[in-house]
Structure 1
């Protein structure tokens, strides 16, 4: 999606007819100069074969687990399936063509095939990125809310999935209609957006693509998981040891997610900006192929991070290998929440009423007898004569033993 198109950069400053002839030879498999050595093309082909094979197997396994085990069929897991489908489509409809091209050292399916390849990989790549952002928001909103999440309500999740595909179409279709265009990239064995054209038309599209399809999803992910960590710290007063353990695990998960996101996509984005705003020839074919390969690794990294580090999916995977029924976790619900009791009380000392307070009772897997109790010298009463105040409308944090944590 975001990598420099430098396969024809040697045409800069040369007669346009020669450039056109070189481009025709490139698509037609003619006498276009190969920019990677046979050894280089073989290394790229091996990497693409590894990425495509493991990406296909990992994402297909996710779909098999989801279809086989009913306990996995929850709204939030449906978002994981959407990510798996988009990554699987890249492995099926994209990677084999670039693998074959690397084996032969040239693009094999012509100009229309190059446009189709660039469009498809851009579409599925953006779907994956937006789905990761939607997933982070869904996890945050269902774990930090004043009401219990309905595990049978797929409406919000379906809306998020639809949004990811529509949003991706909005940003992947413009090159088909003249706002930039798709063409060969790097050593000429893959295709993507043309990153080297210095026209206002092309530069404006690249800037929008970089901001709205890379930076915005990243900011949403960091914001939602950051707020989630803050919410976990709020429940330390209920169970400090369990809260600390949960916080450490969430912090580890968030760090892995953010690091892998940046590792896969940031080099891609930097290379695109260098190719767009730098002088011609700044990005060499060898340098441009590395970020492209890193971006493609997300197709097999995503299932590992978001699925197989998920306790629920891991239990089902373990059961699939042993041909047995998966064991349940601490909670039999697939939702990321359990019932939360919020009591609005008024503490009374003698005949004088003190400040109102909220007593939060969150089910964190501990017996009710161990829950903190109010001071017995203070009588807690519920005032039903007053209408709801602003305190009731404030977000109340309730966290449970969610399987992905």
Structure 2
């Protein structure tokens, strides 16, 4: 328990040791206690949490509305985005309101049992979101590497990934309820989480495992998978050099944004936890520890923007919802198309399109067929045929790839 964060009325009139003991006893009984933040500090934190809770709730609800209303969005890989939105929505509904109320009142309001529930629920939903991001990156990578066209109606693999994210999260958030570490007040006392400050072997071992398997491991998976995707883009760049720089810059920009936002949201919290665990007592002040906690909660607002509203399918449907009309049909949501051109010596350029993924083969006269890796949900193909191939058998059809994060 964080005894140093408690400020009980009347402590100035009694002995300091007795005051500290009374504070600890009051916490164990679940009585309310005041935080060490000033009224201005509580106001700033409450404004931030109110903003995060409101926009996180609206953003994720909008994602669910779009998914339910537009059938074209109900693809297997989009279910991973919905899983992320559901976990973020649950944080906004079951977690943020309690810390917001505690900040406005300057004290924790729902007692010790409520503190344990808050710590468990927020840890559970947060880890589900992190693991889902890792599963999403792996799904995109594996789709790109698949040599054959994937079945867009096969939900088995994605459903397994969603189940894995929840089971994995339960595995790592249940132990504090049964004695491996514990949940308790965090920072200035307006939030609750894992007990970062206990110096026992029991607590330290849990925090190390939590950091490695629930923060570092998902980050490594994301970096590895998106790094492979960028390598695939450079391979495809040889098909049409005029599009290569623009394509690489766009995808590189999106990957960098994803990684930076991941680090901004979760890395400060992980560093704070490690410093509180391994640093000297009092090294991480309650006032400083609230900042990483607020940053971690901003992921509920950022995730829908990056992974959904920058997705062209969802964005077109969002525009259609605002205009009360069917969404504009772009090439990324066409069900299928096929372009085939026969050349003089029997060679062809063929492209297979599908809703979310497509394999692409490019051939030109006098050259062997080159197979391009399947690019999966990131890329959109456009066929640029400047002249009819029947009139000139020596010119191959130009095929350009426009990269975007269209799932």
Deviations 1:17-42 (A, max 9, x none): 86553134347676845311111111
For 1:400 and 1:329, how far apart are their aligned partners in 2?
A: 13
CA distance in 2, matches of 1:370, 1:166: 55
2:133 corresponds to: 132
Give the aligned partner of residue 157 of structure 2.
Answer: 156
Residues 364, 399 of structure 1: 8 Å contact kept = yes
Q: Which residue of 1 aligns with 2:358?
A: 338
Per-residue CA deviation, residues 254-280 of structure 1 (Å, 9 max, x unaligned), is 000000000001100110000000011
Shift of residue 330 of structure 1?
1.5
**TM-score, reference length from structure 1:** 0.83
Structure 2 residue aligned with 1:298: 299
Count of residue pairs brought into register by the alignment: 366
The answer to whether the 8 Å contact 1:101/1:189 transfers is yes
Distance 1:232 1:25, change over 3 A: same
Q: 1:274 to 1:401 in 2, by over 3 A?
A: closer
Corresponding position: 1:89 with 2:90 = yes
- Residue 282 of structure 1 aligns to a residue whose secondary structure is coil
Alignment of 1:306-321 (within 5 A): 306-321=307-322
Residue 365 (str. 1) matches residue 382 (str. 2): yes
1:70 aligned partner: 71
Distance in 1 between the 2:182 and 2:69 partners?
A: 42
TM-score norm. by structure 2 comes to 0.83
CA distance in 2 between partners of 1:240 and 1:151 (Å): 31
Contact 1:183–1:191 (Cα < 8 Å) also in 2: yes
Q: Distance in 1 between matches of 2:27 and 2:47?
A: 22
Contact 2:186–2:192 under 8 Å retained in 1: yes
Match of 2:103 in 1: 102
Which position in structure 2 is the counterpart of 1:44?
45
Instruction: Specify the alignment match of 2:343 in structure 1.
Output: none
Q: Secondary structure at the match of 1:183?
A: strand
Matched residue SS, 1:47: helix
Q: Mark the CA change 1:54 to 1:253 in structure 2 (over 3 Å): closer, same or farther.
A: same
| CA distance in 1 between partners of 2:48 and 2:63 (Å) | 22
SS in 2 for 1:42: helix
Structure showing greater relative contact order (alpha-carbon pairs closer than 8 Å, 6 or more residues apart): 1
Instruction: Determine helix, strand or coil for the equivalent of 1:364.
Output: strand
Distance 1:65 1:314, change over 3 A: same
Distance 1:184 1:191 in 2: 4
